[in-house]
Amino acid sequence: METYKILVTMPKTHIFHTFFNEGLIRQLNEIGEVIWNESTTTHFTKEELCEKIEDIDILVTGWGTPILDEEVAARAKKLKMVAHTGGSVRPYVTDAIYDKGVKVISGNEVFAQSVAESVIAYALTSLRDIPKYSSDLKNGIWPTGYYNKGLLDRTVGIVGYGMISKIVVQMLKPFNVKIKVFSRHIAQEELDKHGMEKADLPEIFSTCDIVSIHSGMTKENYHLITEELLRMMPEDSLLINTARGAVIDEPAMCRVLAEGKINAVLDVYEVEPLPQGHPLMALDNAILMPHMGGPTVDRRLVVVQALIHDIGRFLNGEPLRNEISQAYASKMSTQ
């Protein structure tokens, strides 16, 4: 019986232990001979990866792994599969790997479920103004009159239609919302399936109560959301961004938000960490989160479990559930 060699690139930092527990380590060891990055501080350098990958069948990667470029691919003579514990594989897996016929899987679907959950949480948090009322109460202020809103029966605009958006749409169904979608690729069949309407960006921004950004960070999507679009938003409408900061023209967004007409919940920024003194920090109508929409940390173990199951399927010649095709990878965020 063939013994498969598996290389795990993630160093054994505290982040490693949020992805791997004893049970998952045991499961991976049962599949084949596992070589771990035993460092408690650093990732492999590119040179170290090239040296170690020559007789590896399965490569398990994580955030911070060197890019699997042509040089790495040339050294990966036996590589059959890359299992990425992150979501987007585009910053790590190049065409050189795909062109060798290597199968690529990732935690994208598990991550997408968690990010979609955050969109619902962020929308309700802002609409109900939870931070304000919680802060007031802790400061001894009981409201004598208040105003808040809900998500029920709203019109929601979705910008970009990928895996996260699809799950957001499913999660929105109990709220009886009307959904408008901007996407360059969505099929009419998908729109009809969920009772959605295709719309261009001006219509989305001028008619929706809530606009949720889901476009990948590609060259064509840099500053896709302009000041002109933001100024079209109805008064007291809500902008949510859990995609990438640079999809929105951030300085323009700051100017529009400073005027107080619209609200925002932002999970991502053009520069991260968000620099001290950034204009967004002074805005009461913006809820700021430090790029933690998803996955929640408890879902990281779920990601690795899903990847281990898929590795088993691959070795048994069964269909994969978390495969990222070369075409799909090309549409994923670059960072």
- Summarised one tens digit per residue, pLDDT across range 163-195 is 999 999 999 999 999 999 999 989 999 999 999
Q: If 0-12 CB within 10 Å is exposed, 13-18 middle and 19+ buried, where does residue 12 land?
A: middle
**pLDDT of 8:** 98
Measuring CA to CA, how many Å separate 105 from each of 67, 175, 227? Answer: 16, 33, 37
Which residue in 106, 94, 84 sits closest to 7, CA to CA?
84
Question: Class of 110-288 per CATH?
Answer: alpha beta
| DSSP string computed for 22-66 | HHHHHHHHHHSEEEEE--SS-PPPHHHHHHHSTT-SEEEE-TTPP
- pLDDT tens digits, 89-147: 999 999 999 999 999 999 999 999 999 999 999 999 999 999 999 999 999 999 998 88
With residues binned 3-state (H G I as helix, E B as strand, rest as coil), the percentages for the chain, rounded to 5, are: 40, 15, 45
Residue given tokens 């007409």 in the structure block: 261
Burial class (CB within 10 angstroms; exposed 0-12, middle 13-18, buried 19+) of 133: middle
Q: What is the mean pLDDT of residues 62-81?
A: 97
The residue-averaged pLDDT of 297-319 equals: 97
Q: Which pLDDT score is estimated for 2?
A: 76
CATH fold, domain 5-108+296-329, is: Rossmann fold (3.40.50)
Cα 335 to Cα 301: distance, rounded to the nearest angstrom: 22
- What pLDDT is stored for residue 146 in this prediction? 86
**Confidence band (pLDDT; 50, 70, 90) for 299?**
very high
pLDDT at 334 over 80: no
**What does the alpha-carbon distance between residue 72 and residue 50 come to, in Å, rounded to a whole number?**
5
Q: Evaluate if residue 280 carries a pLDDT over 80.
A: yes
14 CB contacts (<8 Å, ≥6 apart)?
A: none
Q: Do domains 5-108+296-329 and 110-288 have the same CATH topology?
A: yes
Alpha helices in 67-148 (DSSP H): 70-75, 95-98, 108-127, 130-138
Q: Where are the domains of the chain?
A: 5-108+296-329, 110-288
Residue type, position 61, single letter: T
Average pLDDT, the chain: 96
Please say if the pLDDT value at position 267 is more than 90: yes
CB atoms within 10 A of CB 3: 8
Average pLDDT of the segment spanning 12-18: 96
Percentage of the chain exceeding pLDDT 90: 93
Helix axes 22-31, 300-315, angle to 10 degrees: 10
Residue pLDDT, tens place only, 183-227: 998 999 999 999 999 999 999 999 999 999 999 888 999 999 999
